[in-house]
Structure 1
């Protein structure tokens, strides 16, 4: 969908910026791609387990792309918004994958597993992103494969350190710090609601062998709880309904460390850099809650301001069932729309959003 939201964060227009890759232009991911299923609202005790104790959840909403070969790091370095050339074995990094217009096609968490670079991605955009990346490999010694069938992705949140100490010899001590063990990789990700969170990605057999011991210590909950925690952590995820809608700054990727402005060229880099340095960024992603359920409150829905009901002022980036009712949202929105009046879902007469504080601040704009 081509909407006003396709405009860049700070004056970058919808005109095509020069790409940085010499391969023939690849088609954008199709809007007909299958989206993620709507997950049922978790039971109240599933939310409570995370907030009051500890819980784990198999994360079926994610897929994993493995990049292998001598040139895997340098190839990805020239395609993604973050530095993969200097990605070491002890850290993970967020990254975006943009079109030539600087609009996000996918978002990844990237890390090394031996000689492989792994990309954790929303499953509904995985195939399109992997296909597009593969088109640009050309003469590089790099190969991209779908590793989702061989790996299990587990999210853990709350008081989970004792349970994890039975699996890993050491635990990551900082956000995006990674440790490896016989059962795979453990990555600490940003806290949500003041609760620790970890991603555990490893070979299916090894991970599943440890799940009975986790069941003795932690409650297993729905993957929908992880979606909610990601939203409360203020970390947007690109899914199929919002492909090509946002420049990275519009979803706070510059604040979250997902963009390296010194690393050199990648598709859309000129637009992303111009958005950063041209002046005040006028659109950002905020945290909100709205009445309703996921059947009617979904990513890609437009937002309207009470003072200007004729055109959208923003868009839902991610949505998840909230512990205290309704749906929690990450919404990309004009900052001016937050100054006064009210913001509504779907139409100026739709449900009003209640804005909440993000767990991080924005840099001072000059």
Structure 2
């Protein structure tokens, strides 16, 4: 039986929900994320709608940069950006509604994130039938939650994922197995999952700018350039991917992080922030059905954006706030003196993660 995989990606998900729920936000550039504080905000953009993206504002853009881009557009006579805070409980509720619709149409699905999922459409037995079913699914989602989704269909997860982003918003892109290589050939290297800015730069220095260029490399040459990742990317640029759908993805860690309003080395402020993060982690631990953890990880980002993580694994599992608080304090202290912070840099961001969940 021919393998047919779909990737469904909600369009500007957080922003689209806010536009749906607040008519005044429709038809204007919109950013969901941290408070810009008049250009002094320190977080990042979570989601921007397509009008804001036209200003150069995308996910993970520093919120201060988003503010400056909005102000530049306003001075040029364009609409200013509306900034809205993240409402994760609301988005999670909508996501659950969408997944309920998806499972009515597709028996085997893998939810990849809050706003995207893979589905095995092999049971349709043809790309044409898979496309028709996907159109019906998109319509059912819109009827249920009044939001649009884009779908990519291909012979594997790799092709489906790339295809879903080709004609947003409200798109449907079908790539048959025999067309997979030609579909990828003209795309920039960054379109391939696993090729980030550093790998892209390394390949660019060798004269490679698009997928077609690197297909001239042998597997051995790929390994020489990229090490152990070379074999994986050698297969990907040829449109080959045997990664299975995982219906029940195991949660391996739970984390919370926050960018501080101002950089600081004030231990009391840092401990207050860590207390809030720790309570968030413990709440989510219970919500996900876990009783305890064994590894605690503290992440610190300094004012110069250097980021360091330190971890400690307990001899016995623990599941209480008192233990988490004690371990985080132990991990934090070296960052307040010259052991982990010889230049006495102020701290910009803190994060807590627990692993080895039980």
Same fold (TM over 0.5): no
**TM-score normalised according to structure 2 size:** 0.29
Higher helix share: 2
**TM-score normalised according to structure 1 size:** 0.29
**Rg (Cα) greater in structure:** 2
